[in-house]
Chain A
Amino acid sequence: MLAYVLRRTAYGFVTLIGVLLLLFVLFFLYASPHEMARRAVGEKAPPEVLEQWIVNHGYDKPKLWNPEAPLDTLLVEHFRRALTFDFGRSDADGTPITQRLREGMGPSLALAVPSFVFGLLFSVALALFVAYFRETYIDRMGVILCVLTMSISTLLYIIGGQFLIGKLLRWFPISGFDASPSVIARFLMLPVLVSLADGLGGSVRFYRTVFIEEGGRDYVRTARAKGCGDLRVMTHHVLRNSLIPILTRVVVAIPFLFTGALLLESFFGIPGLGSLTVDAINGNDFATLRAMVFIGALLFIGAQIATDVSYTLVDPRVRFE
């Protein structure tokens, strides 16, 4: 098992290098520092101002090869910064990026973790419920509801949630964030609820299919034949055997946490990494963007490895490979 984890981690590292390469190609070869300067300073700026900007931001080195000092190139710089987590300064306002990343982690996690956990719990429970009543009224209505809710854009959930609950009903504040433990929940409630509503449809529909498929298997018949009640069959047999597809789906859902973070944080004024990214877009801040993509990929790869490892915990057939 250890060998497997090491192998996966090694390949993950290789992938990360690939990501850095892609970023380099996009931001230094395809779109040159000159481009970036022009976008940051303005289209009509005179060349000296552009040059000054480039120097100020440390982009005045040769891109790939420096005959005088082979390691003093943008390429090496790019890799070095990423791998040492020293991301330099923002292209937009010059603030140190690494520090802002660290500050943003907390609020982002405060939003992402409850969204993820509650989302998983609710969708699994609902899916079990609907699957239990398969082919009855409840099931059919459930499926249609799922398709309906899946077809509504995330944006509409956010706008609708803010309008209905924030403005009309005034249950929770429309936006804002305060990290002190006594009030933090109030600010997170609405975004978490919105995130739940958004993701529920697709997840319930998927899990329902999994549960129905497992429910038709032979070992379920055996369980019934020895006297297992329906509830126990669902929780002890079907659910346990469905963990692998559930875990797979969880991995797939992680990118949506990122999308959610971007939208929810900026809509609800939560100062997390998502807000940071949105600011970077608006401010043409390529340096921050590069850092965010690297961090995002790192987190995603880490999550994938973690899920792979959890497969072995959940299914004995995978363990003894």
Chain B
Amino acid sequence: MEGHVFANLVVAALLVGSAALAFVIRRSELWREAAVQLARRRPIALAVVALYLVIAVLDSVSWVGGGEAGEGGDVLALHQPRSLVDRMFPLDFDEKSYSAPLASAEFYGGDPLEHPGLHLLGTDILGRDVLHVMLDGTRIALLVGGFTSLIVIPLALLVGVSAGYFGKRIDDAAFFVMSTLSSIPSILLLITLIMAMGRGPVQVCIAMGVTSWVGFCRIVRGETFKLRELDYVQAARALGVSDLKLIWRHILPNLMHLVVITFVLTFSGLVLSEAILSYLGIGIDGSWGQMIDQARDELARDPIIWWNLAAASAALFALILAVNFVGDAVRDVLDPRTLRERE
């Protein structure tokens, strides 16, 4: 299956999944109340995150065809899949090299541009429109945060609940694995994994997943210990309810608020880590981190080239800031103490 078709299917699945999730939330009073509270506290931050989400989704839906090549145009480009975001820009939008935002001439040499005055944020060393590259980076950032969490959360839940619930040997084994992984400083572990697995977006996500699941797993394990000792859980066990059913009905639902909080709070850490990996040369192509990495020697030039760095930094900062604000609010809203008060 072609790459872009796969991505389209994933987006479709995500949309269906989100709709299902929204339905489930509406039916539960606790979660509905929490969602309302969240929207009330941080409307702006939520809107910003939503905006990023929309851009990322738009950039993930792509197909071949449509559009016209300009004169002497790039016929090859016509047969590449182009996403909705790609289609917001003319097909043959590249210049030869650097140009300042809204400029009509190239930065070095002063030759006139193909599309004068149309590059809102200028062009980079390859002549690509910086705004376009920046928007593409949105998809990667959200991919990093979302896909990695998709790995981390189920894995941490599986290991944490098993260790906490069944204890003894399983717990010892889990504890050994967690200790080993967490005794290596995360950056070193990341580098090691990527060097061993190879450099590619999937490998980067897996590596980040392996590095970050331990923290959450510990929390899950601790909570499961506590939950297992609760009176009604003990009563259910005495009545002969099977372990699986107990976990599904009593333990997992009580861990959900932790899942949400952890997901939002680690999201920004993951995106920032990817930026650092890009600097080290082992990140994901086209990410904001890579843009920032390229910007390093652009600043050393005279006159300086600032628009590449500014665009990537602003995009990164705005997303992280918004997620941090939302994360704080989510934690406050889902804090078990406030949950209890509302009962």
Contact = CB atoms under 8 A, between A and B. Distances in A.
A262 B197 CA distance: 21
B202 to A, nearest CB: 15
B316 interface: yes
Given A18-B176, A26-B193, A159-B295, A263 B276 contact: yes
B102 interface: no
Q: Is the interface of B mostly helix, strand, loop or mixed?
A: helix
B286 to A, nearest CB: 16
B185 A254 contact: yes
A107 B7 CA distance: 47
Interface residues of A, number: 47
Most chain B CB neighbours (cut-off 10 Å) among A156, A167, A304: A156
Interface stretch (A43-51, A74-82, A189-197, A286-294): A286-294
A147 interface: yes
A278 B279 CA distance: 10
Contacts of B187: 255, 258-259, 262
B307 to A, nearest CB: 14
A105 interface: no
Contact of B195 (A16, A167, A289): A289
Contact of A15 (B180, B193, B295): B180
Given A147-B328, A153-B316, A296 B185 contact: yes
Nearest to B190: A259
A301 interface: yes
Nearest to B198: A31
Contacts of A259: 185-187, 276
Interface string A20-31: 011100110011
A11 to B, nearest CB: 8
B191 A19 contact: no
B338 interface: no
A151 B180 contact: no
A281 B192 contact: no
B196 A26 contact: yes
Interface string B95-128: 0000000000000000000000000000000000
B189 A159 contact: no
Interface in B142-197: 176-177, 179-181, 183-189, 191-193, 195-197
A154 B237 CA distance: 50
Nearest to A11: B179
B56 interface: no
Contact of A159 (B184, B195, B292): B292
Contacts of A12: 183
Interface in B306-338: 309, 313, 316-317, 320-321, 324-325, 328
Given A159-B292, A259-B187, A278 B280 contact: yes
A180 B26 CA distance: 67
Given A147-B324, A156-B292, A159-B299, A18 B180 contact: yes
B183 A304 contact: yes
A23 B192 contact: yes
B296 A300 contact: no
A61 B125 CA distance: 47
Contacts of B321: 147-148, 151
A150 B325 CA distance: 11
B280 A262 contact: yes
Interface in B246-295: 268, 272, 275-276, 279-282, 289, 292-293, 295
A198 B179 CA distance: 28
Contacts of A22: 180-181, 184
Contacts of B272: 153-154
Contact of B188 (A162, A284, A286, A293): A293
Contacts of B195: 31, 281, 284, 286, 289
Interface string A262-303: 110000000000000110011010100100110011001100
A14 B196 CA distance: 23
Contacts of A15: 176, 179-180, 183
Contacts of A23: 192
A152 B275 CA distance: 11
Interface in A176-212: none
Interface of B: 176-177, 179-181, 183-189, 191-193, 195-197, 268, 272, 275-276, 279-282, 289, 292-293, 295-296, 299-300, 309, 313, 316-317, 320-321, 324-325, 328
In the complex, the 7 A-B pairs of residues with the closest C-beta atoms, listed nearest first: A18-B180, A258-B185, A255-B185, A151-B321, A26-B196, A151-B320, A259-B187
